[in-house]
């Protein structure tokens, strides 16, 4: 009973320290804007309007959230097993291209079959791309941090060649594939927005990862390997198998993110469509300590910051880079959140119930 109470207290402590760090980062952002002549009231008003003033803006924020959360989970699952996955951008690109290829190269298929094939191809493409650095890690002892980063560049170069030469859309001045068939498109949920029925796929993926992490032997073995590799081996856990599996699951999640972008938002593969969302996913996974619930929470904050930055640029002329600045400040605050929480604890000292009872 006491151990469960201590565990709950630890969870509450970690959550409050994370929230405190994020709130402090946002306050710093408001102070920076105040130095440039913007009052907190007008900043918050324009940030709110940029995200919640219409169904279209809110839908686009949710669309960003879907992709950010998926790539964060793609990093978190391998991290839990003690192997680094910094290759989310490359896995998203390869998965997106695989999905696009199935989407524009096949025709005459029922929508359910065509969509299933395209999404499956995207997830398999991402998993395959993630498996390469994992194989190099266990076969040749290659550092997966280096190889996953290099695979990002390789994915960018390969997809650049594919969309500029053999699979370039006829007559297009951009590096992009032909438009996918209508039978391979995800349905738009809000007119003119990027939000589509990929939302349901992302919810299903999140619930599956949550279930695997909390309710299955796989999740238990991931956590044991990530916490203490030697202890896991002594307990009979195959570190090679579980880490390879976790990396492939991470790659499949990034590939799913790429598939949703292609099949639901753009209806074709566009070179560089994911930007550096994979790096954001790595940072979110680290901030959230690989917890699926906290990943969802932090992803919401990042998606809101990106959406609100667009609104503040349109209404107040605030540079769009403000979003990146605030995200960087949040990361710095979270890194030092233990010190921040210690300071808060000194200002507002906590007295346990046991201490109170002993004094009375």
Average pLDDT over residues 230-256: 89
So what's the pLDDT on residue 340? 57
So what's the pLDDT on residue 203? 97
How many other C-beta atoms can be found within 10 angstroms of the C-beta atom of residue 84? 19
pLDDT tens, residue by residue, 108-122 = 999 999 999 999 999
Q: Is the pLDDT of residue 41 over 90?
A: no
Give 359's pLDDT tier (boundaries 50, 70, 90): very low
So what's the pLDDT on residue 120? 98
First and final C-alpha spacing in the chain? 24
pLDDT tens, residue by residue, 85-137 = 999 999 999 999 999 999 999 999 999 999 999 999 999 999 999 999 999 99
More confident residue, 33 or 343: 33
Q: What distances in angstroms separate CA 355 from CA 13, 36, 259, 352, one per listed residue?
A: 19, 48, 55, 5
Q: Is the pLDDT of residue 7 over 70?
A: no
In angstroms, the CA 134 to CA 144 distance is 7
Give 157's pLDDT tier (boundaries 50, 70, 90): very high
So what's the pLDDT on residue 323? 79
pLDDT tens, residue by residue, 57-82 = 999 999 999 999 999 999 999 999 99
Give 13's pLDDT tier (boundaries 50, 70, 90): low
In angstroms, the CA 89 to CA 156 distance is 9
pLDDT tens, residue by residue, 165-197 = 999 999 988 999 999 999 999 999 999 899 999
In angstroms, the CA 44 to CA 318 distance is 12
Q: Is the pLDDT of residue 328 over 70?
A: yes
pTM exceeds 0.85 for this model: yes
Give 43's pLDDT tier (boundaries 50, 70, 90): confident
Nearest 5°: the CA angle 146, 149, 150 is 85
So what's the pLDDT on residue 246? 95
Average pLDDT over residues 259-270: 97
Q: Is the pLDDT of residue 221 over 80?
A: yes
Give 347's pLDDT tier (boundaries 50, 70, 90): low
């Amino acid at each position: 009973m006491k151990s469960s109470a201590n565990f709950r207290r630890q969870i509450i402590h970690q959550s409050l320290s994370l929230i405190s760090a994020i709130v402090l980062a946002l306050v710093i952002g408001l102070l920076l804007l105040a130095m440039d002549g913007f009052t907190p009231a007008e900043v918050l008003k324009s940030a709110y309007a940029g995200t919640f003033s219409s169904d279209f803006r809110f839908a686009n924020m949710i669309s960003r959230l879907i992709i950010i959360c998926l790539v964060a989970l793609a990093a978190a699952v391998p991290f839990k097993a003690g192997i680094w996955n910094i290759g989310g951008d490359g896995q998203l690109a390869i998965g997106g291209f695989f999905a696009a290829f199935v989407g524009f190269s096949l025709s005459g298929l029922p929508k359910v079959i065509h969509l299933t094939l395209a999404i499956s191809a995207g997830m398999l493409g991402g998993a395959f791309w993630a498996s390469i650095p994992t194989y190099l890690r266990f076969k040749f002892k290659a550092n997966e941090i280096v190889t996953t980063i290099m695979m990002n560049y390789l994915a960018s170069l390969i997809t650049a060649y594919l969309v500029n030469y053999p699979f370039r859309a006829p007559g297009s001045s951009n590096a992009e594939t032909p438009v996918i068939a209508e039978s391979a498109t995800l349905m738009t949920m809000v007119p003119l927005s990027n939000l589509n029925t990929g939302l349901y796929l992302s919810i299903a993926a999140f619930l599956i990862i949550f279930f695997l992490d909390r309710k299955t032997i796989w999740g238990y073995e991931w956590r044991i390997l990530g916490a203490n590799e030697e202890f896991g081996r002594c307990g009979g856990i195959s570190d090679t198998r579980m880490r390879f599996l976790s990396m492939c699951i991470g790659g499949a999640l990034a590939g799913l993110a790429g598939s949703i972008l292609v099949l639901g938002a753009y209806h074709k593969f566009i070179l560089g469509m994911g930007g550096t969302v994979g790096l954001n996913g790595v940072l979110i996974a680290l901030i959230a300590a690989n917890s699926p619930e906290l990943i969802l929470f932090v992803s919401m904050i990042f998606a809101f910051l990106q959406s609100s930055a667009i609104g503040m640029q349109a209404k107040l002329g605030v540079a769009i880079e403000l979003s990146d600045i605030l995200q960087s400040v949040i990361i710095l605050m979270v890194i030092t959140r233990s010190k921040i929480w210690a300071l808060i604890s000194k200002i507002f000292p906590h007295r346990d119930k046991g201490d109170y009872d002993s004094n009375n």
